[in-house]
Amino acid sequence: MTIADRYPVLHTPARWEWGGLDVRFSTDLPPDELVTNVHVICFVGDRIVLCRDDRDVWLLPGGTREEAESVHDCVVRELYEEAGAELAGPIHWIGAHYATTDRPLPYRPWQPHPHKAWLWSTADVVLTGAPTNPDDAEQILEVRAFPAAEAVRISASDGPHLPELLTLAMELHHGR
């Protein structure tokens, strides 16, 4: 049985209306020049970190890459901004959502257009402080490390594919 067979919702093509995006998940990693966003399934021991924003959505830390920013530097910055977290081990890349937008212009001028990718990873982290909540980012109200089963359930508030993504992340992260 393939990963796609085991995680059918994650692998079903989807439409993310908020960005005018048609997306499809793959465990094949994208070339660096396509990566516009990075997100991290953060582990504190066996717990998974989720961040609650001002819409009352529980989300994974991550976000948009800045101009000329490396993927690694984006991960470090986003963990600090959204979760008040620091890496406590290596980043492990697990897959990406490949996206094509129907918007006439890229979200940021330096981003690839119309094709792009959201890169997903896992990492062990330490929660070291409060999120910094930059003005141009999601406003995070709460950061918590949940037991895995609860994190999987709660993650659905940010999209139907996330419970399967977290389950895949746990499988791959704990198998290392």
- pLDDT of 138: 83
- By C-alpha distance, which of 38, 110, 49 is closest to 72? 38
End-to-end CA distance of the chain: 20
Q: What is the pLDDT of residue 134?
A: 84
pLDDT at 176: 65
Distances in Å between the Cα of 98 and the Cα atoms of 49, 53, 70, 149 are 24, 25, 19, 27
The pLDDT of residue 174 is 75
Residue ranges of the chain with pLDDT lower than 50?
Answer: none
Write down the pLDDT at residue 28. 97
Q: What residue type is assigned to position 28 of the chain?
A: D
